[in-house]
Amino acid sequence: MAYPYYTEPTHDQGIVASSAGNASRTTATSAAEGRLIVDAADKIMLLEPNKHPLVSLLTNVGKVYDGKAWKGSGMMKQAAGNPEFAWFEDFYGGRYAAVNMGGGYAASGAITITVDGAGADSAYIFTVGDVIKNAVSGENMLVATVASNVTITIAAAGRGFGSTAAAAGVDDDGLFIVGNVSEENSGARNVNTTRSAKVTNYTQIFKTSITVSGTEREANLYGGKDLTYLRAKMGTQHALDIERAFWWGEKKLDVTGTQGHPRRATGGILEWIASSGAYTQNESGSALTVAEFNTFLREGFTYGNDTKYLFTGGLILQYINEFARAQIQMKPLATSYGIKIGTWVTAFGTIHIVHNPLFVQDYAGTAFLIDMECVKYRYMNNRDTKLFTNVQSPDVDGEIDQYVSEVGLQRMHAAKCAYLYGVV
């Protein structure tokens, strides 16, 4: 070959002005070169949203459907500037504890009451001057001191602090704070506040590869080009991997890989609810009755919003269909983001019922009642789902594309959610 010893590349020639014939480089140019990185984050989530409903909702809630496409940005998505992202949780101070004395307390006179049911330091929910009621005997009492982390004292004058006479109390009697009293011209009341707690989770790197030979890429096939088909198919598979991790993943930082570099797993919903003290109901391998399901809803709506999402497999959905019969209304496309959602208004609150096809086999008898304000889709800056094309080595006669996501699940205030399992 003569000088310059290479084949002259394609030229883009034309004018500079903003008019027909200008030679400005565009994404069409990059696509023709095979260099365009496709931002696939929300697009692939809408290919088959019913296959991965949690991820679909988190990435699309807040968008508006204009009759052709979903537009706008997801309200339940947020960028993270660090692979370990954090948030802070706080709760109001408790208002309930139970007598736990290995017996009980006397019907009259000054007493010291040992309590539990509000954590390791159950007595710290009380403050001097609190009026508490024994829910069993009906007696109101005035807290004189908080003697230790698990004991409070009541003076003789603080017994029967109201119209109900003093009475003996026994273990497991509930003690409720019904308010506090102060005398005239008194100083400031003792302070009793709760501390917020820092909570973290990780973004996890998900990868899904696509590969075709150069010949296969160009072959004419029934149904269209194979690469186009595989991009759609593996995009859904990629979203399914994220969905599974969001349900069943466990938080983990690992450095035992071949390079010794960080390898992070995001914590999912099951780990979060099971380890937090949130309400869980085990049916222990039995059928689900109306009464048992009502118990689950009653406890699950203790905290949080009066509208929640119930993600469930086909088995529990079958029971619900029998319970509710004609009471379930299907939501229109414009408010369901392409997901089939049934709405059931119950006495405890409104539940949006979402069938999750991943809840099968060992998880067929499970359901999660989720307050959607408690969960959020977090993605590393500029690392939400993208399709990288032509990532193969230069000598490969073919094409390798790869979906890459670095995302995690933010999980807040588990007490607003609940878990049902063990149904057969």
**Cα angle at 248 between 247 and 253, to 5 degrees?**
115
Q: Which residues pair with 195 in a beta bridge?
A: none
- pLDDT at res. 340: 86
Under the banding of pLDDT at 50, 70 and 90, the label for residue 93 is confident
Mean pLDDT on 101-107: 92
pLDDT in tens, 327-356: 888 776 556 777 889 999 999 999 999 999
- pLDDT at res. 43: 59
**Cα angle at 150 between 148 and 152, to 5 degrees?**
65
Question: For 190, which DSSP code?
Answer: P
- The DSSP annotation for 217-275 comes to HH---TTS-HHHHHHHHHHHHHHHHHHHHHHH---EEE--STT---EEE---HHHHHHT
- The lowest-confidence range among 25-39, 66-80, 103-117, 184-198 is 25-39
Indicate whether 45 pLDDT > 90.
no
Question: For 15, which DSSP code?
Answer: B
Under the banding of pLDDT at 50, 70 and 90, the label for residue 76 is confident
Please check whether residue 180 is in contact with residue 127, taking contact to mean a CB–CB distance below 8 angstroms: yes
For residues 251 and 293, give the distance between their C-alpha atoms in angstroms, rounded to a whole number: 30
What percent of the chain has pLDDT above 90? 70
Please tell me the CATH code under which domain 96-180 is placed. 2.40.30
Chain-centre distance for alpha carbon 293: 22
- pLDDT at res. 327: 83
Largest CA distance in the chain: 112
What residue ranges in 41-150 does DSSP mark as E strands?
A: 64-65, 70-71, 77-80, 84-89, 96-99, 104-105, 111-116, 130-134, 140-146
pLDDT in tens, 6-33: 566 677 666 666 666 666 666 556 555 5
Record the tokens describing residue 419, joined without a space: 């878990």
For residues 67 and 229, give the distance between their C-alpha atoms in angstroms, rounded to a whole number: 25
What percent of the chain has pLDDT above 70? 85
Under the banding of pLDDT at 50, 70 and 90, the label for residue 91 is confident
For residues 389 and 53, give the distance between their C-alpha atoms in angstroms, rounded to a whole number: 27
How distant, in Å, are the alpha carbons of 16, 35, 36, 231 from that of 25?
11, 13, 12, 25
Under the banding of pLDDT at 50, 70 and 90, the label for residue 40 is low
- pLDDT at res. 63: 67
- The lowest-confidence range among 55-64, 80-89, 205-214 is 55-64
Mean pLDDT on 182-202: 92
Indicate whether 68 pLDDT > 70.
no
Under the banding of pLDDT at 50, 70 and 90, the label for residue 90 is confident
Q: What share of the chain is helix, strand, coil (3-state, %, to 5)?
A: 25, 30, 45
Task: List where CATH 2.40.30 sits in the chain.
Answer: 96-180
- pLDDT at res. 213: 94
Q: pTM score > 0.95 for this model? A: no
Record the tokens describing residue 41, joined without a space: 């984050």
pLDDT in tens, 284-321: 999 999 999 999 999 999 999 999 999 999 999 999 99
Under the banding of pLDDT at 50, 70 and 90, the label for residue 190 is very high
Phi and psi of 101, rounded to 5°? Answer: -120, 5
Under the banding of pLDDT at 50, 70 and 90, the label for residue 4 is low
Record the tokens describing residue 277, joined without a space: 């003290």
pLDDT in tens, 247-275: 999 999 999 999 999 999 999 999 999 99
Please check whether residue 254 is in contact with residue 263, taking contact to mean a CB–CB distance below 8 angstroms: yes
Neighbouring C-beta atoms of residue 216, cutoff 10 Å? 15
**Cα angle at 276 between 351 and 91, to 5 degrees?**
80
Under the banding of pLDDT at 50, 70 and 90, the label for residue 3 is low
- pLDDT at res. 86: 93
Instruction: Work out the mean pLDDT of the chain and round it to a whole number.
Output: 88
Indicate whether 73 pLDDT > 80.
no
For residues 404 and 383, give the distance between their C-alpha atoms in angstroms, rounded to a whole number: 8
Q: Which residues contact 412 (CB under 8 A, 6 or more apart)?
A: 87, 89, 199, 373, 374, 375, 376
- pLDDT at res. 324: 85
Residue of 278, 280, 285, 275 whose CA lies nearest to 364: 285
